[in-house]
Structure 1
Amino acid sequence: MNKSLLFTLLLACSNLYAHSDIPIQAEHGGTVKESAAGHQLELSYRPDSLTLYLKDHDGRPIKTSGASAVVILQNQQQQRRVALTPSGGNQLSTQGDFAALAGSVAIIQYTLAGQKLEQARLTLQ
Structure 2
Amino acid sequence: MKFRTTIAAALTLLLSAAHGAAHDAKGANGGRVADAGEYHVELVAKNGTIDVFLSDHNDKVVASVGHKALAILVIEGKSQRIALEPAGAGRLSGKASGSLPVAPKGVVQITRPNGKTVQARFN
Q: Tell me the TM-score normalized by structure 1.
A: 0.71
Equivalences for 1:72-111 in 2 at 5 Å? 72-75=72-75, 77-97=77-97, 99-102=99-102, 104-111=104-111
CA distance in 2 between partners of 1:95 and 1:63 (Å): 20
The CA deviation at 1:115 is 4.4
For residue 29 of structure 1, what is the aligned residue in structure 2? 30
Q: Which runs of 5+ in 2 are unaligned?
A: 1-20
For residue 54 of structure 2, what is the aligned residue in structure 1? 54
The CA deviation at 1:96 is 3.5
Moved more, 89-98 or 105-114: 89-98
| Contact 1:75 1:104 (8 Å CA) reproduced | yes
Corresponding residue SS for 1:99: coil
| Contact 2:69 2:92 (8 Å CA) reproduced | yes
Per-residue CA deviations over 1:64-120 (Å, capped at 9, x if unaligned) read 101100000014520111100000100000133553324531201001211411111
Instruction: Report which of the two has the higher share of strand.
Output: 2
Compute the RMSD of aligned alpha carbons: 2.1
Q: Residues 93 and 100 of structure 1: is their aligned pair in 2 closer, same or farther, counting only changes over 3 Å?
A: closer
Per-residue CA deviations over 1:28-78 (Å, capped at 9, x if unaligned) read 11111122x131110001113110000011111100101100000014520
Q: Tell me the TM-score normalized by structure 2.
A: 0.72
